[in-house]
Structures are given as C-alpha cells and as structure tokens.
Amino acid sequence: MAALSARLSALIRRERQTRFSGGALGYLWAYLTPLVWIGFVVAMFHFMNRATPIATAPAMFVATGILPYVLFRQTITGMMRSVIANRYLLYFQPVSNAEILLAAALLELLNLTVTATLIFGLIAVVYDVTLPPDPLKVILGMGLAWALGAGFGRFAAVLGQWSDSFARAVPLALRPVFWISGVFYTATELPGAAQDLLTFSPLFHAVELIREGFFLGYASPISSILYPAAIATAFYLTSLVMERHVQTTRSARHRI
Amino acid sequence: MITLLNATRIQGGTIILAGATTQFKPRDRVGILAVAGSGKSTLARLFSGIEPPDGGIVQRHGRLSWPMGFAGAFHPDLTAATNIALIADMIGQDPGRTVAFCDQFVGFAGLNRPMKTFSPVERATLAFSLSLAVPCDGYIADEVIGVGDAPMRAKCDAMLEQRLASAGLVFLSRNPAQIKKYCRSFYVLIGGRLIPCPDVDVAATALKLSTEPEGAEA
C-alpha cells in the first residue's frame, strides 16, 4: 500500500512537472484555462443581455457550470494523453497502465480542486457572493463530474491505445457535452421536452447538484446522484474488460 | 531466477519463443546467443516482466532489472537528477541515494541540467548507471552490457561484477565473444527454440549452421 502510494505520487509529480514544461507560463496554464472560459461565457451573457436564471453574480453562476465541465473534460484529455506519453514507464515494474491512468486522473482532481477553490473564492470576494450553504453537495457534484471524467477517460484512453481514429474522434464526440450539461442554463428554465431529453446527460446532474449546494433555495429536477455514478461505473468497468483485451491481443498501436 | 514453463511468445506472426521450458538458476550467468531480428528485445521484456507471454508461464523470482541501460523513459525537459529520483520512487528505491550513486558513477559534471542537454553518450552512460544503482536479484541485458569509452566500460564491468556477487544475469546478444566474457551457461535461440549448449562455441556453430542456406557447405 505504501509502495503503491509512493509510485502514484512519483507518477503524479512527474506528470505535473512535464505537463506544461517548456512554455513561459508553465503550470499557470492549468489555472488560466478555466478562468478564460468563465470570462468568455460571462462576456457572452453580457452581450446577449441574458440574466442569470439564479439570482447571483453572473460569474458565479457560470463558474458553477464551467468548473465541473472543465474537470470532466481535462480528466479525459489527461488520461488519454498520459497512457501514451508515459508508456515507457512500464519498464519500471511494477508500474502498470492502471497506475498511470489513476495518477493522471488524480492529478486532474488535484489541479481542479485548487483551481475551483481559487476561482470560487476570487468571485465570492470580488462580487461579494455568500459562500455555499451546503458545501458537501458542491463537493459531491464536483466529485461526480470527476468520476464521470475518470470513468469515461479510462474507457477512452484504453480504446485510444487501440485505435487512432477513436482517439481523434473523442474530442469531437465530446463537443456537444458543453451544450447539453447546463453550463449556461439551468434545468428549471428548460421546456418540458428538453428537460426530459437532457435528463440523460450525466454531467448535467453533477452541475445541478453543485448549484443546489451553492445557491440557497435552488432545487433542480435533474439532480440524481445515482445516475451519473452508474454511468461512470459502467464506463470504468467496460474499460477494465477492454484493457485486458488490448493487452492479451497486443493491439495497442504504440509499441514499447 | 527465472523459470519458463512452456512459454510462448509470438510477435507480428513470428514465433520468438515456441513453448520453452527451462530454468535460469539464481546467480547463474546465462548467455543467450541469437541473431539480429530474432526477438532479443522482446525476450528481454518478457524476462523483465514488462510484458506477459502469449502462452505458458514465466515465473520470476526476486527483483529482476529492466533491460540494462534503458534510456527511453528520461523526459527531455526534466533534469537528469529529477528523472532518476522519480524513477527511484517508482521502483521503491531511495531517490537521494540513487541520484548520488549515478552522479558519482558517471563522472561528468552536473546531473542538475535538463536531459535534453545531454550528449547521446552521456545519456547512455546515465541510463546504464541507473541500472547498476538498483540492487537486483537478477539483471537482464539486451545487447548492452557496458557503455562509453574503455575506462568507462571497465568501470561498468567492475560495478556489474560487484552486483553479480549476489545476483544472476541473463544476457541476450548476437556476439559470442561478449557472451563468453560475461556468462557461464549458454543457450542459442533458433527458430523460437531455446537450446542449451555446453559452451558458447557450440552455440555459435549451431547458430551458424541454422542460418546457412540448405545444402551449403562451410
């Protein structure tokens, strides 16, 4: 157990130090990216004269949607990249594919925890917004967004080892997730038919849970804990089966 | 050190190992003579536990090294010291002591500069020093069993000898002279068969005969 955590810690530190190496701003990018996203969507709200559906600062409303989305998205990208970039670390037994993937997912969780704390804190101070009445629910929602990213990310990373086309298709296939996960609207303002349809968007549940925890009195019809957890688990379990298949048939496209 | 039970390894339609059953005893120094392209590196990864066999069993006892001198995992943007410390952590070795060993062994100044500033020879020397820095029960060598100029090679030999006082060696090479120098037990790899030989000359002869065209006289 101690050996496993030492390996994971080394894998995380290595990934952390190499991720943005070479660039001038280095690791700042990890924190800048979501901040720029939030700025972009807030600006969009402003120019479209859109009022936030929940009475709070627009930046805070947008942050509750963007941060879980970024966590979900970056966990997937991080895992897909890591499993290929770090494949030579398999020479150092007992380092395994599973550990490389877990380390990548944990690093994203760590990063986004820092980013979310900074961004929520910054917005709360600047716009004088009260802190969430139910912080546990916020953490639960963020945790589910991460679990979805880690579950699907593992699935995508394993399949990406096998198929180049799949690896390239993932970002395209994920593009709609931004639009169907309530990043800039809430479930309560959707017409009935759209609400019924978007119930199937697992990340939407995580986003709405965060809002229920963040904004006093807000209750969403799309805030199941079980549904996104089940989807994340299903992808995770499928990835285990596929990983075994890729290993026994040696169908990974990158040789070591 | 390693026990093969009907171990089979097929790579891209080529049979590299066809149901081999044999035992490399602890502290033995095993030389495997094989021609280029016969799958030495694949076998080295199999013995190192980096990849499993396609059939049969490869039992590994104690800590076995990765193919000695492997340099593929050094990240160009990290310093040599950071690269080594991280790898040490991954394999459960003390990072400080491992870096100190490599620093002392390589003899050129400064492991605190990015890996990309290293010359190919420096890089190879560093990678080999890392293999020697880790105490193992068995060392796996794939063609590379020493690096650098003559004095450095002598240094590698001396350190390897010290390690082999309490460890075994599996050395895969196409060079009979090298195998003779480092090994005590001999095998030749022909057509996926791992054939034991009494000495390296027999192994070399067997290999020569197997690669000559049918009916040709020596």
| ipTM for the assembly | 0.92
Q: Which residues of B touch A14 (CB under 8 A)?
A: 75, 78, 86
Which residues 30-69 in chain B show a CB within 8 A of chain A? 45, 48-52, 64, 66-67
Q: What mean pLDDT do residues B76-89 have? A: 95
Q: Nearest-CA residue of chain A relative to B55?
A: A248
β-bridge partners, B197: B186
The per-residue pLDDT for A164 is 87
Question: Which regions of chain A does DSSP assign to beta strands (E)?
Answer: none
Q: What are phi and psi of B60, to 5 degrees?
A: -120, 130
Where do the domains of chain A lie?
2-248
Are A91 and B92 a contacting pair at CB < 8 A?
no
Q: Which residues of A touch B50 (CB under 8 A)?
A: 90-91, 93, 256
Q: What is the pTM of this model?
A: 0.91
pLDDT of B119 > 80? The answer is yes
Residue range B153-187, pLDDT digits in tens:
999 999 999 999 999 999 999 999 999 999 999 99
Q: What mean pLDDT do residues B119-138 have? A: 96
Average pLDDT over chain B, rounded to whole? 93
For chain A, residues with pLDDT lower than 70 are 21-24, 26
Q: Nearest-CA residue of chain A relative to B90?
A: A7
The neighbour count for residue A194, using CB atoms within 10 Å, is: 13
Q: Which residues of A touch B92 (CB under 8 A)?
A: 3, 6-7
Which residues, at least 6 apart from B195, have a Cβ–Cβ distance to it below 8 Å?
B187, B188, B189, B203, B206
Note whether A133 and A217 are within 8 A (CB). Answer: no
Which residues 22-51 in chain A show a CB within 8 A of chain B? 22
Please give the interface size between A and B, counted as residue pairs whose CB atoms are below 8 Å apart: 59
Residue range A200-232, pLDDT digits in tens:
999 999 999 999 999 998 999 999 999 999 999
When pLDDT is cut at 50, 70 and 90, the band that residue B215 belongs to is low
Q: Nearest-CA residue of chain B relative to A22?
A: B77
The per-residue pLDDT for B214 is 65
Listed in sequence order, the DSSP H helices in B49-167 are 80-90, 95-106, 120-133, 150-164
Which residues, at least 6 apart from B104, have a Cβ–Cβ distance to it below 8 Å?
none
Tell me which of A237 and B13 has the higher pLDDT: A237
